[in-house]
Chain A
Amino acid sequence: MKGKIWKYGDNVNTDVIYAGKYTYQQLKPEEMASRALEDLDPAFAKGVRPGDIIVAGRNFGCGSSREQAAACLRAAGVQAVVAKSFARIYFRNAINLGLPVLQCEAAVDALSAGDEAEVDFAGGRIVAGDRIFTFPPLPESIIGILEAGGLIEWTKKKLEHHRTGKPA
């Protein structure tokens, strides 16, 4: 699926992705999507379309452990976040909620806001016209969580395995 690039800088923090004032309100996915990146780029929530890709610099998602900062982007239909690096809790949260987070410095340097691109997850590639960027595969230990559709589904399988003795 092709999507439009939204490009941001280094240290995009969880407060600007999803403000603290909403964090304890337990909003529905579409409400969360409408508040995504509110304090960084008010145009994002209005303009984002399913399949769009966020491209950012170093330490994306630094700050709070609030996982709505990953959930709101997934709810907005973001296909993947491509960054030079991710803050560690954000990285875990994104995997646990099924939001693909890809580390690819070359793509971040090359891609501009408004470019079109798509992610080939199986091939480990980001394709933007004739420009192709490869990203390192995710560690095996977390591929299982993504394949299960997130941590809740993965844990369900694990619990089932404990109960029945059948492999997860």
Chain B
Amino acid sequence: MGLTFSEKALGRKAGRTVRAGEVITVSPDYYLSHDNSSAIIGEFKKLGLKKVAAPGKIVIVLDHIVPAADEKYAQNHKTIREFVAEQGIPNFFDIHAGVCHQVFSEASFALPGAVIMGSDSHTTTYGAFGAFAAGVGRTETASLWATDEIWLRVPETLRIEFRGRFPVGVFAKDAILKILGDHGADRANYEAVEFAGPAAGDFSLASRMVLCNMAAEMGAKNGYFEPDGKTIDWLKARARGSYEILKSDPDAKYEAVLTYDLGALEPQIACPHSVDNVKPVSAVAGRPFHQALIGTCTNGRLEDLEVAARILKGRKIHPSVRTLVLPASREVYLEAVKRGLIEIFLEANCVMVNPGCGPCLGAHEGLLAPGEVVVGTSNRNFKGRMGGRDSEIYLASPATVAASAVEGKITDPRTYLS
């Protein structure tokens, strides 16, 4: 019987053939952390070591509360900068760079076949490039810094096959929301999710990142797209070291195979307070709201800003709504400036927020008052996440959010794009 991608990637590290269900100890290629590096440093120091085991494998991106919102956060950042200098950690990205998952991918640490651990649940994003990437906690990252080793259970794999083409106004975000709504927020708990089928290659890398990012919301350990010409072109331009493309065998064993016809989808929206409380946008159209959020590590890339700008061009945000635009990285922001997108956003009365996690996790930069409602492109709508306990979060595609911002109520974007 053949092997899945995840069995191959972990087996390569283990130095032998491994199967789903086995627990193995591996030495990953990279481990990511962000503002939580300060807490990780605290745990690392408890171990009584002077030096980290492999400084070149540590990647730190400051993104969660950047620039520092107060003195405590400023101290966290300072602690991290000092540790980076003291340990000689070469891969450090300060507050200018952007959200860790976008920055990590742009700097091409997300290589096909690589095994990556990240102290952030959306580490699954790098599966878009054919890497095995899973989230862990802070203590576990401290242990990785110390030992360069971690135990992992080889996951079973859920395969999701796409066929057909998206209708106008329907995007990768709608596809993953539909899957979440159909199968629930724990459908892929402990599992790998492999996105495949005849239409998988049609997804841009940015869209593959949307699906792999939100595989975390299905409970997945990692997401995966088979690398293809698009992946190789991306890596050619950025090339960091060698890599090995690993693919699932045709006779690999899957826990289950789900199939989706992209042509049959319509715009979707996750309603409060759960990522799997998903409805067609048409079912909640007309609902008024207070804040729109376009961006984040889920939907803050160029194609996302472009479609939002297409809708906002020559229009104004509805006066009852405030709209935040949060590019995923400096690189994305700069390219958006060059293409004139930022001018469109500013003309429309959007507020540009610096690349980073911003209000998505409820720490700063545009939180909600009690009773307020946000419609955003981020990945989580848990109760109270973006501010007041009884505030509400709806999740949708950049097109749906932009169209809704113009109307001042939840709006199906298809009329704006056809």
Residues of chain A having any CB pair with chain B under 8 Å = 10-11, 13-16, 19-21, 23-26, 38-40, 58-59, 62-67, 70, 85-89, 92-93, 96-97, 139, 141-142, 150-152, 155-156, 158-159
Contact = CB atoms under 8 A, between A and B. Distances in A.
A39 B389 contact: yes
B416 interface: no
A93 B139 contact: yes
Given A24-B64, A59-B186, A15 B139 contact: no
A87 B189 contact: yes
Given A20-B361, A39-B389, A141-B151, A62 B185 contact: yes
Contacts of B23: 139, 141
15 contacts: A20-B363, A23-B363, A24-B64, A26-B39, A38-B384, A59-B189, A62-B186, A67-B139, A85-B189, A87-B186, A141-B151, A150-B139, A152-B46, A156-B48, A158-B147
B35 A24 contact: yes
A78 to B, nearest CB: 17
Interface residues of B, number: 48
B361 A23 contact: yes
Interface string B54-68: 000000000011000
Contact of B380 (A15, A65, A66, A88): A15
Given A65-B119, A65-B120, A155 B186 contact: no
Contact of B139 (A39, A86, A151): A151
Given A13-B382, A19-B384, A92-B140, A24 B73 contact: yes
B304 to A, nearest CB: 22
A152 B43 CA distance: 7
A155 B143 contact: yes
A58 B185 CA distance: 10
A93 B73 CA distance: 23
Nearest to B380: A63
Contact of B384 (A15, A26, A58, A142): A15
Given A15-B362, A62-B186, A155-B146, A89 B46 contact: no
Contacts of B385: 15, 19-20
Nearest to B149: A158
A26 B363 CA distance: 13
Given A15-B385, A26-B39, A39-B389, A21 B363 contact: yes
Contacts of B274: 11
Interface in B139-155: 139-140, 142-143, 146-147, 151
B76 A156 contact: no
A24 B137 contact: no
A11 B47 contact: no
Nearest to B144: A155
Most chain B CB neighbours (cut-off 10 Å) among A24, A63, A85, A142: A24
A26 B42 CA distance: 10
B119 to A, nearest CB: 6
B380 A96 contact: no
Nearest to B145: A155
A14 B361 CA distance: 11
B121 interface: yes
A139 B380 CA distance: 31
B186 A11 contact: yes
Given A39-B383, A62-B217, A155-B142, 13 more contacts: A11-B274, A13-B382, A15-B380, A23-B363, A26-B39, A40-B383, A59-B219, A63-B380, A65-B138, A85-B189, A151-B139, A155-B47, A159-B47
A158 B382 CA distance: 38
B147 A159 contact: yes
Nearest to B389: A39
B256 interface: no
Most chain B CB neighbours (cut-off 10 Å) among A13, A87, A155: A155
Contacts of B189: 59, 85-88
Interface in B272-324: 274, 276
Contacts of A151: 139-140, 143
B186 A63 contact: no
B136 interface: yes
A11 B185 contact: yes
B135 interface: yes
B121 A64 contact: yes
A159 B49 contact: yes
Contact of B136 (A63, A85, A92): A92
Contacts of B38: 24, 26
A16 B36 CA distance: 19
A156 B47 contact: yes
